[in-house]
Chains A and B, each alone.
Chain A
Amino acid sequence: MTGPSDAQVIRRVLAGDREMYAQLVDRYRDRLGRYALRMLGERADAEDAVQETFVRAYRSLSRCEPDNFGAWVYGILVNRCRTNGARRARNNARMVADEAAMARASVAHTEERDTLRDAIHWALERLPTEQREAFLLKHVEDLSYETMEQLTGVRPSALRMRVLRARDGLRKLLAEAVRD
């Protein structure tokens, strides 16, 4: 990493140099954005979650241990994705209440499965939220179960079970996508 450390940037922001915060945003936005996109599925939703995360982090910056900003801001994002994902799920449930919309969704899904990437997206979206979260944190973000516990407040034994179920679910869903 070049330039000042996270801790140095945070101390300057807390001393009143607000513009320095952009350095932290640039440093973490893409990694946070990847997790948010995989969790929420839509780029606009992911960008909203990332934006809300950085704004909340700024508001509470004095409570952050400066050497631990990365893990701390990640914890805020995980929570934002839970909240925004639940809200989106409720909206989607209302949207597909009419049959015409369901038919359109079905056609769209068939087309989406043309590529591996779309098949993954399709399968990931069908996992229960808590399994998707555990799978992404473990396998995509490469976090230890101890760090995952720190971020989610869920015990490692439960997290291991969620990851296992997510892997089983993904295998079955992807096999289904290939068959279709």
Chain B
Amino acid sequence: MTEQVDPLAPIIAALKEPVALAPDLTARIMASIEKLPRQPVAWWRRRWTVEMTPLRALAAAAGLAAIMFASQAAGRRAGLPSPEALATSPGSGRTQFVLVASEAKEVSLVGDFNDWSLSATPLERDGGNGVWSVTVPLLPGRYRYAYVVDGVLWRPDPEAPAAEDEFGRPNSVLTIGGA
């Protein structure tokens, strides 16, 4: 059996040749970035250095306990359910996301509500029927979201209105509570 040669192979090889960009391109890019405000560092990512004396540690522990007690009391006053109650009570703003993907090995839900994190909201497979689902507590509002199959394949929800993000990727839109 003779192997078929792609008639465009020399063209493709020529197109694959590396190109020489300006040596100072990296410097130009970094100069543009220097003009931008620094990345907003999320408070949980910042490095904190706290010097503690035994007396200060005691005071901090007391303060922390007071804050926890106050926030629980405030939650009860506002009628907010505890996280445990939210997980079990019906009609508490919980939204179920479902995707049929029989070939998938893993599916994640990414969206405005979880900072587009691939690891924050994995879907669970319902037996061997290819149905994946997860239930997420969401407050009223408008959310953009998508599914990511096997960590790479970006899928909008086929059952929801579509919207592109600024990178041209297809997302879906979910509106809760007529927001």
A residues in contact (CB < 8 Å) with B: 13-16, 18-19, 21-22, 25-26, 29-30, 33-34, 37-38, 43, 46-47, 50-51, 54-56, 58-63, 65, 68, 71-72, 75-76, 78-79, 82, 116-117, 120, 124, 136, 139-140, 146-147, 149-150, 152-153, 167, 170-171, 174
A22 to B153, CA, bound (A): 28
Those of B31-83 within 8 Å (CB) of chain A: 32-34, 36, 38-42, 45-47
Nearest-Cβ distance from residue B12 to partner chain A, whole angstroms: 5
A29 to B46, CA, bound (A): 29
Residues on A with C-beta less than 8 A from B129 are none
Q: Does B29 contact A (CB under 8 A)?
A: yes
Q: Does B118 contact A (CB under 8 A)?
A: yes
A11 to B166, CA, bound (A): 22
Given contacts A55-B29, A139-B8, A47 and B22 within 8 Å (CB-CB): yes
A54 to B21, CA, bound (A): 15
- A-B pairs with beta carbons under 8 A, tally: 125
B residues in contact (CB < 8 Å) with A: 7-8, 10-12, 14-16, 18-19, 21-22, 25-26, 28-30, 32-34, 36, 38-42, 45-47, 115-118, 151-154, 164, 166-170
- Contact of A14 with B39 in the complex, beta carbons under 8 Å: yes
- Contact of A75 with B47 in the complex, beta carbons under 8 Å: no
A14 to B38, CA, bound (A): 9
- Contact of B28 with A51 in the complex, beta carbons under 8 Å: yes
Given contacts A18-B39, A174-B11, A33 and B153 within 8 Å (CB-CB): no
Identify the closest chain B residue to A22 (Cβ): B30
- Contact of A34 with B36 in the complex, beta carbons under 8 Å: no
Residues on B with C-beta less than 8 A from A171 are 7-8
A38 to B19, CA, bound (A): 10
